[in-house]
Amino acid sequence: MSKALNAYRVLDFTHVLSGPIATNFLTLLGADVIKVESGAGDTMRNYGGGRGNEGMGPSFVSVNSGKRSMVLDLKSEAGLEVARRLIAKADVVVENFRPGVIERLGLGYEVCRKIKPDIIFCSVSGFGQSGPLKFNPAIDQIIQSMSGLMNLSGEPGSPPIRVGFPVVDTYTGLLAAFAMVAALLQRERSGEGQHIDVAMFDASMVMMISVLGPFLVAGEKPAKQGNRGYSMSPTADTFPTARGSITLGAVRQEQFEGLCQVIGRADLVADPRFADRKLRFQNGQALQAEVTREFMKGPAEEWERRLNDAGVAAGVVRNLDEAIALEHFNERGLKLPMTVPGMDGASMQVLNAGFRYAHSAPGVDRPPPRLGEHTREILEELGYGPHEMEAILAKPEKGARKEVKK
């Protein structure tokens, strides 16, 4: 059987991270994603050090494998005409320019809808296509700052700190991908297209539903709680051991009893200070001291094995390289082998979708595209002849058209 989005064509005007992450998920599900780039290419092609070179930076490779790249000058009439022909054959158009830019280029939703009435058009931006902040420039850490996210992590009283990776970009891309797939399903039923407006700020709020939800419902203001779990149980925290650290998730009574059994401290169950969840919370510091004392008698990996065998959630605090070295990581099909032109060693892996199907599974088997690699191929698909292609591919004269600000 074919993949979920086979035969769907996506016209991708996105760059950097949130937009390319969104279209990466569509690619993994089988869509033909045409990445439209300027002559300079996506910024991420040359972002970061390490193994990236020749326009194949590691961040670019990780979210653009399997796509096709086409270079178009959208400030020229010839380039716009190609874009219009592409839109006529597309199911989805995705862009993540600042609000108003795609309209000034002449390729906004209303124009696209006239070309293809049932088009799915997705706009990804910092603050959305409406509202008083819509023209504000935004990157991941700005949204982390403004959304309240930076005041959720750390110990009580500690200064604001960002999550250590572009978490808002990542979640925004995933939310946009979900919205586009849902809109395609809606179109199958109604025959109508859709304009999707995805904002990083909005996405960050949805991502924080576990703390923002209770605040909206009951006015419960979240506070920094360090490594303490959502339950705030003193045995849902991170503890030092004889070698390494371990995080526990012993929340329910039976989990607490299982923990005490594993660490050889059944007496703690009978201790009146720890008789129930409320008392354990009130006497949390004393309980944690007792647990830590026992954990210091063995290494974190040994405690992890013993606790999990007893049905108590526990995990060693690992570095990223240690996490992906786990046999479980390989068994889950999270890595896709990839041969990437221009990269040292050429053979490597990229991440899969993070979910599994019984058949027709997500994945890609084509490398990320070199800048403009498929331009001629796509022009031929659109019916352009050799002479027309040469005219389109000719570099524009300097100053031929005023640049559109992004």
Residue 393 has pLDDT above 60, yes or no: yes
Where does residue 87 rank: exposed (0-12), middle (13-18), buried (19+ CB within 10 A)? buried
Residue 347 has pLDDT above 90, yes or no: no
Q: Does any domain span residue 120? A: yes
Query: How many domains, the chain?
Result: 2
What pLDDT does 174 receive? 98
Domain containing 45 — which CATH number? 3.40.50.10540
Phi, psi of 314 (to 5 degrees): -155, 145
Q: Are residues 284 and 317 in the same domain?
A: yes
Q: Does any domain span residue 228? A: no
Q: Are residues 70 and 202 in the same domain?
A: yes
| Of 51, 30, 21, 211, nearest in space to 122 by CA | 21
| Of 179, 11, 32, nearest in space to 95 by CA | 11
Q: Does any domain span residue 214? A: no
Q: Are residues 296 and 342 in the same domain?
A: no
Do residues 5 and 26 make contact, with C-beta atoms less than 8 angstroms apart?
yes
Structure tokens at 308: 């999990």
Q: Are residues 254 and 350 in the same domain?
A: no
How much of the chain exceeds pLDDT 90, in percent? 91
Residue that finishes a domain, picked among 295, 324, 353: 324
- Region 315-320: mean pLDDT is 98
Range of the domain at 306: 238-324
Binned at pLDDT 50, 70 and 90, residue 95 comes out as very high
State how far the alpha carbon of 154 is from the alpha carbons of 209, 301, 345, in Å: 19, 25, 39
Do residues 163 and 171 make contact, with C-beta atoms less than 8 angstroms apart?
no
Q: Are residues 320 and 353 in the same domain?
A: no
Q: Does any domain span residue 57? A: yes
Report DSSP letters for 291-337, one per residue: HHHHHTTSBHHHHHHHHHHTT--EEE---HHHHHTSHHHHHTT-EEE
Q: Does any domain span residue 145? A: yes
State the chain's mean pLDDT as an integer. 94
Residue that finishes a domain, picked among 306, 324, 342: 324
Q: Does any domain span residue 219? A: no
Instruction: Say what the pTM is.
Output: 0.93
**Can you say whether the dihedral through the CA atoms of 99, 104, 105, 107 is positive or negative?**
positive
Q: How far apart are CA 2 and CA 30, in angstroms?
A: 8
Structure tokens at 160: 């604001």
Q: Are residues 347 and 245 in the same domain?
A: no
What pLDDT does 343 receive? 65
State how far the alpha carbon of 386 is from the alpha carbons of 29, 87, 248, in Å: 33, 21, 65
State how far the alpha carbon of 186 is from the alpha carbons of 111, 113, 220, in Å: 21, 16, 36
Q: Are residues 168 and 117 in the same domain?
A: yes
Q: Are residues 255 and 349 in the same domain?
A: no
Q: Are residues 49 and 130 in the same domain?
A: yes
Residues 6+ apart with CB under 8 A from 153: 161, 163, 224
Domain containing 259 — which CATH number? 3.30.1540.10
Q: Does any domain span residue 30? A: yes
Residue 50 has pLDDT above 90, yes or no: no
Where does residue 65 rank: exposed (0-12), middle (13-18), buried (19+ CB within 10 A)? buried
Do residues 127 and 181 make contact, with C-beta atoms less than 8 angstroms apart?
no
Q: Are residues 76 and 140 in the same domain?
A: yes
Q: Are residues 359 and 292 in the same domain?
A: no
Residue 135 has pLDDT above 60, yes or no: yes
Place of tokens 């407006």: 197
Binned at pLDDT 50, 70 and 90, residue 292 comes out as very high
What pLDDT does 49 receive? 57
**Can you say whether the dihedral through the CA atoms of 152, 155, 156, 162 is positive or negative?**
negative
| Of 11, 34, 201, 207, nearest in space to 125 by CA | 201
Residue 342 has pLDDT above 90, yes or no: no
Residue that finishes a domain, picked among 324, 357, 380: 324
Residues 6+ apart with CB under 8 A from 139: 126
Residue 401 has pLDDT above 50, yes or no: no
Q: Does any domain span residue 292? A: yes
Parallel/antiparallel/unpaired status of strands 194-199 and 120-125: parallel
**Can you say whether the dihedral through the CA atoms of 226, 229, 231, 237 is positive or negative?**
negative
Parallel/antiparallel/unpaired status of strands 347-351 and 335-339: antiparallel
Q: Are residues 253 and 142 in the same domain?
A: no
Q: What is the pLDDT of residues 224-250, one digit of tens each?
A: 999 999 999 999 999 999 999 999 999
Q: What is the pLDDT of residues 156-195, one digit of tens each?
A: 999 999 999 999 999 999 999 999 999 999 999 999 999 9
